[in-house]
Amino acid sequence: MLNNHNFTKFRSKLTIVIITFFISTIFLMPFKESHSIDDSLKITHGVASGDVTKNSTIIWSKSNTQSIMNVSYNKSNDLLNNFSNIVLKTLVNSSTDFAGHVKLINLKSNTTYYYKVWFADLNNSSLKSDYKTGKFTTSPNENELTQIDFVIAGDLGGGTLCRQQEIGYSIFSIIKLTAPDFFIFNGDQIYADGTCNDLTDLVKNNYTYWQNIEENFKRVNDIDWNDQDELNKTFLQHWEYNRYDSHIQNFLNDTSMYSQLDDHEVIDNYGNWSFYEVSKDPNERNKSGYPNLVKTGVKYFFEFSPIEKNKERPDQIYRMFQWGKNLDLFLLDTHSYRSINTLQDTIQNNKTLYGTQQLDWLKNKLLSSNATWKIISNPIPITIPDCIGYMQACNNWATNNASNTLTFTNERNQFLKFLDERNIKNVIFLTTDVHYASTVKVSQDFDRDGDIFTFYEMTNGPLSAYTSDKPYPLDPTINATYIYSESALFNFGHVKIEKEKDGKYHFIYDVIDSNNRIRPNSTINLIPK
């Protein structure tokens, strides 16, 4: 039985325990802000991460109105309660169509992170959108030897093969099953010069069964290129249509991406010129406002990509990423610096597809690379000709005729000679654009020293676009041969760099179709030299 003195001591201790418990509970609970859902404030097109390095990434999302984008992250996957107290914020407004980019830094290498995104009212931070969650994995340190798994694909929504009713872009759910470390979106992420409601192309390409989720946006070819509001509206509608697909959103919130630009994000076979030089239509070649079209198309590519802009050169798209000791990844830009396609390819003209600055950058990075595999992700092929447009001018580094002088082959041959002279080993080109899948082997003595230099080019796609009837003949001026080729299928490339029984990290490549089947004869297993 307690006397008054003992009872007073007991009550004091009990009070201290209770107070301590509540203080501990308050300070040790995971950080959780008050969150009143505002139904008028929404995340409209999911979330994505991109440009992952060993210690950073870019988080992207989009709202429906001016607001504050918030990002919280942690190494734990307890997404509701166990986030760090760090909340990074950025303003989104009409200047970027309410898309936002937030950079996460000081991350741990080779680590999976989980994040959540929400938007808050500009004047009342307690009014918020619902949140969406995602995850990404940082790259290994430079000297780490680890297995790497990634996918590459391009060409989405071309030839009126857009989001199919009740199916959408379901191939992204197939891609997600591979559980890659990252995804390279290799170009033609939209077809701004196409539509999703014209049945003519569907019939022409034998897709009479296809039923689109229709969207009544225009082709950029058909609008006034001096009308900035109309340009903005058209590009925005194309991007929003593709990114609204649930399969894409579910994939991108689960896998980081490296975003690349080809041509259809702007207009077919464009270049940074004063007029639309390559069009077959003389009315388009004489149409005013072309530089404005190009500038606007590139602007929307950056708005919808989880990409970090170069501080000195904000329009620069080419960049490099290291994935440990086994992989250096080079992402190239094939349109911003090219000469006019119909310029004669002579030494005097110094015709270029990539520009001197980009090619010098690439050469220097390759020379200094200590990675086992050097992967050059190029939106267009280098051995498969595309010379069927205006005046038969070639659109990539290949040619279809040894006598064709409207090419870029001088630059290509000089670059391959450089690789041969410097004996840069284990170079792989990964490309898309031609709408069929193939693997090409090139063995040639480019520097004429008696030693044969060998490299490979793997081409994949389309994800969802018209497919080529058959593979094209390869460039007759280079010693290239098909190891594998296959047309008339939607597909993507799957790469694994993994340790085999010989103790070396092999490059293993498969083509996977939209039914989740590895295509027969597509698998190649390369041993590093």
* pLDDT tens-place values along the chain, 529 residues long: 444 444 444 444 444 433 333 333 322 333 344 557 778 899 999 999 999 999 999 999 999 999 999 999 999 777 556 666 678 999 999 999 999 999 999 999 999 999 999 999 999 988 999 999 999 999 999 999 999 999 999 999 999 999 999 999 999 999 999 999 999 999 999 999 999 987 888 887 789 899 999 888 999 999 999 999 999 999 999 999 999 999 999 999 999 999 999 999 999 999 999 999 999 899 999 999 999 999 999 999 999 999 999 999 999 999 999 999 999 999 999 999 999 999 999 999 999 999 999 999 999 999 999 999 999 999 999 999 999 878 899 999 999 999 999 999 999 999 999 999 999 999 999 999 999 999 999 999 999 999 999 999 999 999 999 999 999 999 999 999 999 999 999 999 999 999 999 999 999 999 999 999 999 999 999 999 9
In angstroms, the Cα distances linking 129 to 44, 62, 79, 122, 284 are 10, 11, 16, 12, 44
Dist. CA 20–CA 261, nearest whole Å? 57
> In terms of pTM, does the model score above 0.75?
yes
Token pair, residue 455, equals 């490299």
Which among 518, 184, 429, 172 is positioned nearest to 323, based on CA atoms?
A: 184
Distance of CA 335 to the CA centre of its chain: 16
Classify strands 99-104 and 57-63 as parallel, antiparallel or unpaired.
antiparallel
Is there a contact between 294 and 266 (Cβ–Cβ < 8 Å)? yes
Domain 36-137 classification at class level: mainly beta
The confidence score (pLDDT) of residue 15 equals 45
Q: Which residues contact 30 (CB under 8 A, 6 or more apart)?
A: 78, 81, 82, 83
CATH superfamily of 148-526: Alkaline phosphatase D (PhoD) (3.60.21.70)
The confidence score (pLDDT) of residue 295 equals 98
The confidence score (pLDDT) of residue 7 equals 40
Dist. CA 140–CA 110, nearest whole Å? 4
